[in-house]
Chain A
């Protein structure tokens, strides 16, 4: 009788612990989503490190990012090469030292997808995306979301996309793109400023 009581109490404790963890993840998910909704603008510097498995080598590039709700994003590399990606609603401007190109994402599905991934990754909107299987876990003082692509075209490019969230502010601090062949790209966001005014000229595609 006594053993049965102990077993029953143990099972109740386990059930309560599991329940608490599940609720906590849902609460964090809600917190991240709320932060993304409330983020009218975002500016930051970033460091991007591309790691090549074949060469066992890496290359670092630096840049700046600006985001404005709902569909404006400026992603600019300043070192070691200059390259600018500007998304303004359905128009994308690609600018490098050789040429400028304006692409209409309504007619180009690939660019529409790239723009959507970039925007959603940076502001943390991927968690509710039905195109990924999402695991959200606490790790070393931050929340880490591991996104496994479910769609064929994304599966061919990426094995996983990993987003690191600041626990207090619930915004993205790091994005890791893991490719199937073992390469990975890590983008660290620094000097983040949110909800400051950004001139729309920054997102001009003309």
Chain B
């Protein structure tokens, strides 16, 4: 693939690597060759015939999407024959396509509309009767309108090849050909919505966005998804300060055009009716709405009082707040309150991994590495269920570069279908199982190892020792659950020496005076031993923890603030505020206001010494699925309506 090939397209000189398709070579000189069925990353089809071009010395027009460049090739995309061909292909497509534009959700962002305007005829010559079949609903969010379908098969390919699910198929032959769902008249799948977004027309549409607005009425804000740790960019369509939909329109993120069900549909927690919009204070055993000034003054004065008498603080930070907020909180705790009792809901043993690879460059894998490296080992994780972007990257790597995948898991996972070797291991047996793959892994030129929460403490060190012993370059990914789980560790939301209490220790500490909980729900299914502790909670909803609080401060969500968060593979990405909600403040604003009230100088960074103490039994993945997202997921109505099999993974059987 290294040699360059010289050719000409419309009299422009083009130089591209050998193997480049003419349709892509044309892009390098700014020439657009239209296509419906050609989609980068998916298998070639040559079905729509829109990309037909003239090639010197060829008697027939050739499809640019399947033609690789050749030295000295002369291609023309601007001749009358090509113009006529494009016009006629569009005319054929529009014969049975219904004139639904006024009522079709895709209007305004429809590729058929765009290409017809650009290359099509102004009038139709079709005067026969169109074939109509009624629209079908295949799931709460997937609607299918067969007459609109132009049979480009992008949806079938993205589901089967891209996602590895294969829930969409093709039935019948000829003009009555139809896309069909996998179970009778409906879909049982990941509900990721990739098919809806990849559809160039309005054949597949979203049930949650239906008829709400038009694409040109929305402001499209690309920000980072608020749910898992993979760091996908989701594009929120905002109209009148309300999020109308989420999709993959902004392709600039590490996820490209991938997005899962949560990134697409789980934004409706933002305007859930249970959103806290006013600070609450416990007065006489009941919550009372109070103004911000009163609530914050009460918090500041309590903190001041406890600090003066040398009382005990417990600070629980969030896995969903920004790096800037996390840094501010740890400074507040250490410098402002003088405490080392700071922790967060840890879901993977990143701290031990960081310690084990300290000082090494290139020991941690990026999301791009999962697409490029030649061998991947997955230990104790169900990627398709819990890390859908990472699963997508690995699957794309396997499709495009034939990478080799090895899995060591407790039960079947979707990656089994791609894996060269798969080993089942019960909890505790992972290292032995990995050891059994030594010979195969040693023969690889390089390796990326991803591991889940079952690998903690000394097992992490054991895994790194194993990797070191292979004699090949190895990179690691410690799988974490939440959007800024990584940032929580890297910004210091863990105790740095033996004096600092961990989260479980804070809960069992009987003499805790203050428990400050930011964006976390530790008291779900647990209670604080210190019955008399003063509990301050910053959150979006009245969670179990907030219900036990003395003061509740309503916080802004990820979609309502700016700042940076760090994905599981270490990409630091910027959040862009999409909407604002009355009555809430960002966590950063709250910290800064409190600091001001307490006259703290947060810029004076305290020195931090030593490495974090790792104690076993602390770390547990929340075990979220595609359809759950911790406490936040409870408030995502659309997401909750989609649960196929509670906690179950759609099994791809072939």
Do A and B pair up? The answer is no
> Which A residues have a C-beta under 8 Å from some C-beta of B?
none
